[in-house]
């Protein structure tokens, strides 16, 4: 009897340990975010030395204020795949982009600031937003901006191994865009969360797409933990550089409130604004 009691205690101990370990893994899965710092390269020692990525998170390494950071891959390496993260230039030009997964009311302030400064941006939009807010997409296009493809459902695209599944994520967005605007979609693509693989870049190129990462971003997507104006300016002014492709989220209330002043400050620093269309046409990356 005593021996059975001991076996029961051992059994319950083992089960408790196993359940605790499983709970920890589940918590880690749902609370981790591969974009925790969009300006930190996973390995700055190899960030521009060689394109060795399989499934990678796009990351950056900043060495000197006002200078272009290194990325997981160099401008020349990305060029093979019609991909960019910055322009190879000393000209003080900024290419402004926004990622838009949904609408939470910040878009009017953003569009007003862009109109005031006559800046044309690219909005990388998730397909579900086009389906839910086609009138918003038309408003963005009518204001002279470009809609880019941020996939249909915002998955980890590096986990999509078949060409058919990859194409569907992009082509479903193209169909919705055509229905909303009556126009063909510009073939600009941004991988969700900056997660990518060489195979993905090759598939996008075969579909006629140009892939765009970024050379400046900051943590602006947590709705319940928005950065202060001071925190935003510290990153966005301190790390701006010639040829920067800047990534902002249109869902950020901080971005909506500071954009007018931010554009003014960049202009006061001597920067002008270009479009991704101009960047592609120039062949400067």
Instruction: Report residue 238 CA to chain centroid gap.
Output: 20
| Model confidence, pTM | 0.83
Question: What span, in angstroms and rounded, lies between the C-alpha atoms of 279 and 272?
Answer: 13
Burial category of 257 from C-beta neighbours within 10 Å (exposed 0-12, middle 13-18, buried 19 and up): middle
pLDDT of residue 174: 98
The stretches in the chain having pLDDT less than 70 are 1-55, 284-285
The three-state (H, E, C) secondary structure of the chain, written as one string? CHHHHHHHHHHHHHHHHHHHHHHHHHHHHHHCCCCCCCCCCCCCCCCCCCCCCCCEECCEECCCCCCCCEECCCHHHHHCCCEECECCCCCCEEEEEEEECCCCCCHHHHHHHHHHCCCCCEEEECHHHHHHCHHHHHHHHHCCCEEEECCCCCCCHHHCCCHHHHHHHHHHHHHHHHHHHCCCCCCEECCHHHEECHHHHHHHHHCCCEEECCCECCCCCCCCCCCCHHHHHHHHHHCCCCCEEEEEECCCHHHHHHHHHHHHHHHHCCCEEECHHHHHHHCCC
- How does pLDDT run across 125-179, given as a tens digit for each residue? 999 999 999 999 999 999 999 999 999 999 999 888 799 999 999 999 999 999 9
Question: What span, in angstroms and rounded, lies between the C-alpha atoms of 62 and 244?
Answer: 13
Residues 6+ apart with CB under 8 A from 180: 130, 134, 137, 138
Residues 6+ apart with CB under 8 A from 171: none
Question: What span, in angstroms and rounded, lies between the C-alpha atoms of 87 and 85?
Answer: 7
Instruction: Report residue 165 CA to chain centroid gap.
Output: 21
Catalytic residues: 99, 249
pLDDT of residue 44: 36
Question: What span, in angstroms and rounded, lies between the C-alpha atoms of 142 and 6?
Answer: 75
Q: Can you name the residues that pair with 196 across neighbouring β-strands?
A: 56
pLDDT of residue 283: 78
pLDDT of residue 1: 47
Contact 197, 55 (CB under 8 A): yes
């Amino acid at each position: 009897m005593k021996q059975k009691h001991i076996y029961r205690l051992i059994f319950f101990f083992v089960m408790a340990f196993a359940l605790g370990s499983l709970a920890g893994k589940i918590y880690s899965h749902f609370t981790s975010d591969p974009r925790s710092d969009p300006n930190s390269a996973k390995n700055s020692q190899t960030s521009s030395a060689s394109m060795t990525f399989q499934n990678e998170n796009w990351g950056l390494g900043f060495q000197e204020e006002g200078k272009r950071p290194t990325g997981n891959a160099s401008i020349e390496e990305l060029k093979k795949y019609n991909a960019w993260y910055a322009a190879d230039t000393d000209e003080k030009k900024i290419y402004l982009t926004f990622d838009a997964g949904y609408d939470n009311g910040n878009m009017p302030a953003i569009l007003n600031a862009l109109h005031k400064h006559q800046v044309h941006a690219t909005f990388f939009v998730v397909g579900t937003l086009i389906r839910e807010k086609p009138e918003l997409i038309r408003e963005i296009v009518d204001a002279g901006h470009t809609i880019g493809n941020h996939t249909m459902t915002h998955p980890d695209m590096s986990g999509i191994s078949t060409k058919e599944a990859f194409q569907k994520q992009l082509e479903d967005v193209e169909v919705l865009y055509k229905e909303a605007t009556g126009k063909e979609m510009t073939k600009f693509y941004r991988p969700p969360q900056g997660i990518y693989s060489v195979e993905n870049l090759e598939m996008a190129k075969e579909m006629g797409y140009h892939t765009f990462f970024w050379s400046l971003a900051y943590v602006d997507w947590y709705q319940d933990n928005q950065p202060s104006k001071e925190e935003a300016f510290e990153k966005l002014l301190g790390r701006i550089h010639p040829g920067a492709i800047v990534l902002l989220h249109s869902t950020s209330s901080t971005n909506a409130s500071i954009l007018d002043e931010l554009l003014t400050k960049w202009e006061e620093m001597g920067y002008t604004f270009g479009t991704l269309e101009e960047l592609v046409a120039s062949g400067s990356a």
